[in-house]
Amino acid sequence: MKISAQLYNLLSHNNFLVSIKRQYDLIERVVYIFRQRIRKHNRFFFPERTVYKTPHIFGILAVKKTEYVEMAIFCINSLHFLNPTHRVRVYCDTVCYKYFQQYQKALDYPNKVEILHFFKKKEKAWQESKLETCLDISMLDGILVDADSRWYSEPILEEGCVYFLVEAYPFRDSPLEMKILASMFKKTRKNVSMHHVTGFVKIPKKFITKKFTTDLWSIYSRLNKVAKDGEMKRLREELTLNIALQLHVPKNKIKTLKKIDSPGNKDVLLSYYYGCWNRVLN
């Protein structure tokens, strides 16, 4: 396995371990914020010392819980700690949009951040909102990244390729997911073989065709009907992207940002897996 998915799910049920992890993450963030302030000060007084890489545009989803706004700000500041020329669009519902208005002063480079009141229906599941965010940012040739992330280095991406965060496991290793796939397709789809993690998703605009978009929403609708297990319901957006992209994109054009991932892995992007640890199903 490239990521300890079962381990995450197991540990997330232990309240003591979850509490310890939250305290550790909080301390680490406080130290990091102090470092951010020093670097921002140095950039202001010594701007000629830094040459930046070509900027990307990133999309971050913040809905349902105001905690996602706080995590998004931390994620954005960690990105701008590395390169303040990157642009960011934050896709919010009404609750998070209002909350962001109050706390946007915490952004290190607010002129590089666009806060969007994108979702106005309270009953919409966050999985559906994430798919809409992914499609919208992809039409700008941008990158979708989860709010509960922290950047340690800038992404190095091959032009024209789809990127996920990391490979999780082959679908064949999950009897439940194989059962779901079998219920969705009459014939085995050999090209739909790997479950990837969607904490980071890059889909070049050329792949966002009308056929791809139609198929994506069709797959999501079918998953809503067959994914009855709590964990599968939580992952239905991830399953949708995996299935749709592997059906439409050649295998050699699908890559990952990271080779492996595990709790605390700081290679390029650290994912805190807030949704998994806190069992956020909808």
CA 133 to chain centroid, in Å, comes to: 10
> Which residue has tokens 């993690």?
197
What is the spatial distance between Cα 56 and Cα 54, in angstroms, rounded to a whole number?
7
pLDDT tens string, the chain, 282 residues long: the values are 444 545 555 555 566 665 676 676 667 767 767 776 776 667 766 765 677 889 999 999 999 999 999 999 999 999 999 999 999 999 999 999 999 999 999 999 999 999 999 998 777 899 999 999 999 999 999 999 999 999 999 999 999 999 999 999 999 999 999 998 988 887 767 889 999 999 999 999 999 999 999 999 999 999 998 887 777 888 999 999 999 999 999 999 999 999 998 877 889 999 987 755 454 445
- Exposure b/e, 27-59, CB count within 10 A at least 16 = b: eebeeeeeebeeeeeebeeeeeeeeeeeebebb
Token duo for residue 207: 């792949």
DSSP string, 78-143: HHHHH-TT-EEEEEE-HHHHHHHHHHGGG-S-GGGEEEEE----TTS-HHHHHHHHHHHHHTTT-E
- Tell me, what's the pLDDT at 192? 93
Phi, psi of 129 (to 5 degrees): -65, -35
- In the chain, the amino acid numbered 220 is Y
Where are any strands of DSSP class E within the chain?
Answer: 57-62, 87-92, 113-117, 143-145, 149-151, 162-164, 166-170, 194-197, 200-202, 254-256, 269-271
Alpha-carbon torsion (81, 82, 83, 89), positive or negative: negative
123 to 35, 72, 91, 117: CA distances (angstroms) = 39, 22, 16, 16
117: buried, middle or exposed (CB in 10 Å: 19+, 13-18, 0-12)? middle
- H helices, E strands: number in the chain: 10, 11
- Tell me, what's the pLDDT at 177? 92
Token duo for residue 50: 């830094």
The reported pTM is 0.84
Token duo for residue 63: 């809905």
Phi, psi of 101 (to 5 degrees): -60, -35
